[in-house]
Structure 1
Amino acid sequence: MPWLFLGIAITGEVIGTTALKASHGFTKWGYGGLSVVSYAVSFYFLAIILKTIPIGIAYAIWSGAGVALVTFIGVVLLGQKLDLFAYLGIALIVAGVLVLNLLSTSATH
């Protein structure tokens, strides 16, 4: 169940960040409100999983997956342009998350 909750926390963070961009500095209150609610959900579920998953592991996965997903949304939906080094950096973040999930014994599965 902690991994499902971590997925919910990541999803909340990604929705919150995307809505934050769409809020244009909180000038569009619907998106601003969605951002606040999404972050609240994200932090709530992150707090729950910290009871069972070590903080360093949980935060690394939460933030790393969030960065990768928000970058994907930025490129695909928002037309953001990245250079080779940006893609390399994102790939390294994703690789780090995969190593933590698949190879590390520090994460409780």
Structure 2
Amino acid sequence: MAKRNMIEREKRRTAQVNKDEKKREKLRVILKDPNASYEDKQTASVSLQKLPRDGSYTRQRNRCAITGRTRGVYRKFGLARHKLREAAMRGEVPGLKKASW
């Protein structure tokens, strides 16, 4: 099990990303616009830098829904490899079965 504070930090980051998503997108559009003036781009850049770092979606980390483990997490299922295997053995994951050849 991951440390509780790390899981809570990740939840706060997710909430911050959801909150700042539209603001960041508007500022990025201004920065990428070839017709925007230099001053507009400069103010957009400064505004983007003033937003909280945790509001950036690249700071998020995939975590297992059960244990909070960050490594070996399958995106499709949202579970770490250990818990995915256990769930598959119990038959809780539809369409997934143990490979045998």
TM-score (ref. length: structure 1): 0.28
Normalized per residue, which structure has more helix? 1
Bigger-Rg structure (1/2) = 2
Tell me: higher relative CO, structure 1 or 2? Use CA pairs within 8 A at least 6 residues apart: 1
